[in-house]
Structure 1
């Protein structure tokens, strides 16, 4: 009789732990985006169209 009670409680514990699936995770929540290199203010200060203003006008 005790074996049945123990197996029943073990089964109840298993169902309580594994009885439901975990919440669904969206694919966009699994990706972390960050820049490969830190921002460099000196690099971003260059204006690629500056030469047009200086030499073409």
Structure 2
């Protein structure tokens, strides 16, 4: 086998690999907006009993 023939086959494989690489990675992905990167959710579910305390009710109940 001639060394020149082997090199032709190696270049063909490299060119094919380069074409596959360019087809996959040849362009940048679409830009992502900052609003789409951040998701805002409350850390815990709101507790309805948290704001149910009435300080005036305590005064009326124990001081009068």
TM-score, normalised via structure 1 length: 0.68
Give the length in aligned residue pairs: 48
1:27 maps onto 2:34 in alignment? yes
Establish whether residue 41 from structure 1 lines up as the match of residue 48 from structure 2: yes
- Look up the match of 1:15: 22
Which has the larger Rg? 2
Scaled by the length of structure 2, the TM-score of the pair is: 0.62
Hey, which bits of structure 1, 4+ residues long, moved more than 2 A? Answer: 43-47
Q: Which runs of no fewer than 5 residues in structure 2 stay unpaired?
A: 1-7, 57-64
The Cα shift of 1:44 comes to 4.5
